[in-house]
Each structure stands twice: as structure tokens, then as C-alpha cells.
Amino acid sequence: MNEAASVASAPPARRHFEPEDRIWVSAGLFAALALALGLPLVLLVLWSVAGRWPAPDLLPSSYTGAIWRAVLDDGDVLSAAVTSTVIAVLVTVLTALVAFPAAWAMAKFPLRCKRAVEVFVLAPVIVPGIVVAVGVGQVFLAWGLTYTVPGVVLVQMVGTLPLMIRLLVASFETLPDELIHAARSLGASPLRAVWHVALPLCTPGLLAGALLSFVGSFEEFDKTFLVGAPAVQTLPVLLYHHLDPYSLQFPLAAVVALILLLPVLVVFVLSGRILRDDLMAAGMGKV
């Protein structure tokens, strides 16, 4: 009723919650968070150490470390973890190497058919991974790359490259041309100007892209499964086999899931500072 009046009188009148409102909002949000994220995590941990957990009970009736010990003694999970890590590192480095020059060209050069290049580079985001994988799989058969780690790295890069290019372009575009011009007119070669001036300024974009590539590769399933399995066992592929509805073993699946979750979450939490929201939104919020 006096809304217009209050807007007019209080200068940049952004409505804030009353203090007592805010408590309820944050209580509600954190309760939802606990329910959606905390509870599943607790359940996974409980399943991984549950000896016996018959149906109506809310907590296991006995605990055991036997599953963890069995999994850690059995080489499969550890070797899958190593494979996943090696693939993720390779994917990240190679994606950055290919994406950097391409993104630089798209952000800083007046290209004649810029729109066509943009569409071509982003097209893999639109096509489902399984479709890419089936096509690439046939090409790889001819090249002898199916069921090999290099093959999996290459097919995963089809997914990570567009995102990396996109994030880098967004980050290069915010870079003032004058800085490069200044460096150039002071006698720096183009490469030096990029290396010493542009690269340090674009570190946030590069790190965000690297992070997304790493996580994207570590968790990738569809393409890895079609091109690499059964010879290349990454953690998601291993977990998929443990989740088969007909032979599902929750304890074993929970252990593998926690092992798969751990590095991804560590990287993600560490990166809280690196991943700037505005950059992510700029890089991925447009098509």
C-alpha cells in the first residue's frame, strides 16, 4: 500500500529480508541442502561400512571394514583410479593446448566467418555423447584406437574442448586490447605479449576451463564406456558394472562411489576461489 512511497523515499531501495525472515530463509535452505546432499553422503558412508543392514532398520545392525579392505586389496579399483586420473590430466592439458590458440583467434581477430566457426566449435555440445561415441568408435576401429587410453582421451576431448574454448573466449574478450598493443609497441614479440601479458590476466578463465575439463573427464561415462570399455576401466565404468540392477551390491557400490567422489570433491572445493560465478555464467549461459 505504501510501497511506492517507500521506494521513492529510500534511495536504492532493494528490499531486504527482515532479520527474522533471514533466519528462516537460511534455515530452510540449509535444511534442504542437508537433505539433498548431506543425507545421501551419510547413507553412502554407512552403506560402505555396513555389515548387516536389514530392511526396516534405519541404521546398520553391525559394522565392518571388510568391504573397504577387500576393495583396496583388490587391484581393480586402484588401477581404475589411476587410469581415470591419467586420462583426466591428459584431457585437461591437451584441451588447454588446442583451445588456447583457437579461443585467442576467435576473441581477438576479425574473422570473416566468425559465426560459422562459433557454431562449428560449439556443435559438439548439442549432439548427445553417445552419438559422438558411436561415430568416433567406428573411425577409431580403423585407426586401432578403440579400447585404448589415447582413444578415450581423444573422444573425451570432443566434449571438453567446446567448453574450454567458450570459457577462454569469454575471458579473452574482457581483456583490453590496449594492454597487448602497449606491450607490442614497447617491443615485445606477439608470443611474448601473449605469454607475459595476456596469459597471467586470463589465469582465472584458464583455471576454470582446466577444472571443468578435469572434472568433466573424471566423471565422463557415455563416451568412455562405448570407446574404451571393457579394456579401459575408469572409475565411472567400474561403478556402472557394480550398479547392474540384477546383481546390485550396495556396500561395494558405495565404496567405489566414495572413491570416485573424493578427488572430484577435493578439486571442486579447492577451486571455490578459482571458479568465478560470472565467468561460468558467461561461458556457459549462452548458446
Partner 1 sequence: MKNASAADNRAHLVAWALLLPGLVFLGALFAGPLLWSLAGSLGLDQGLAGFTLEHYAQIFTRPALRSGLLVSIYYGVAPVAVTLVLSIGLALLLRRHFRGRAWFNGLYKIPMAVPGIIAALVVMTLAERGGFLDRLAAPLGLALPRLVRDPWGVGVILTSVWKQLPFMTLVITGAFAAIPQEVSHAARTLGAGRWRTLLWVELPMALPGISAAVLLTFIGTMGSFAIPDLVGPPSPRPLAVHMYAEFGSGHLPLVYAIGMLLSAFAVAVLLGYYALSARAARLLGGSARKDDHE
What is the smallest separation between the CB atom of 78 and partner 1, expressed in angstroms? 18
Site membership for partner 1, residue 149 (CB under 8 A): no
Q: Which is nearer to partner 1, 117 or 149 (CB)?
A: 117
For 263, phi then psi, to 5°, come to -65, -40
Cell 586402484, located at residue? 78
Site membership for partner 1, residue 158 (CB under 8 A): yes
Distance of alpha carbon 190 from alpha carbon 73, whole angstroms? 53
Sole window of 67-75, 155-163, 180-188, 195-203 interacting with partner 1 (rule: CB under 8 A): 155-163
Please report, as residue ranges, which positions from 243 to 272 form the binding site for partner 1 (by CB under 8 A).
Answer: 243, 245, 248, 250, 253-254, 257, 260-261, 264-265, 267-269, 272
Site membership for partner 1, residue 15 (CB under 8 A): yes
Residue from the set 81, 90, 210, 226 that interacts with partner 1 by CB under 8 A = 226
What the block records as the C-alpha cell of 160 is 571438453
What is the smallest separation between the CB atom of 266 and partner 1, expressed in angstroms? 10
Cell 583388490, located at residue? 74
Sole window of 62-70, 71-79, 202-210, 273-281 interacting with partner 1 (rule: CB under 8 A): 273-281
Residue from the set 9, 20, 56, 185 that interacts with partner 1 by CB under 8 A = 56
C-alpha triplet 96, 261, 245: angle, nearest 5° = 115
Please report, as residue ranges, which positions from 61 to 120 form the binding site for partner 1 (by CB under 8 A).
Answer: 97-99, 101-102, 104-106, 109-112, 115, 117, 120
Between the alpha carbon of residue 60 and those of residues 1, 237, 240, 248, the distances in Å are 57, 28, 24, 18
Q: Is the preceding omega at residue 236 within 30 degrees of 0, hence cis? A: no
Residue from the set 161, 167, 180, 232 that interacts with partner 1 by CB under 8 A = 161
What is the smallest separation between the CB atom of 53 and partner 1, expressed in angstroms? 10
What is the smallest separation between the CB atom of 286 and partner 1, expressed in angstroms? 5
What phi-psi label fits residue 199: left (phi over 0), alpha (psi between -120 and 50 degrees) or beta? alpha
Contacting residues for 241 by C-beta, under 8 A, at least 6 apart: none
The residue type found at 156 is Q
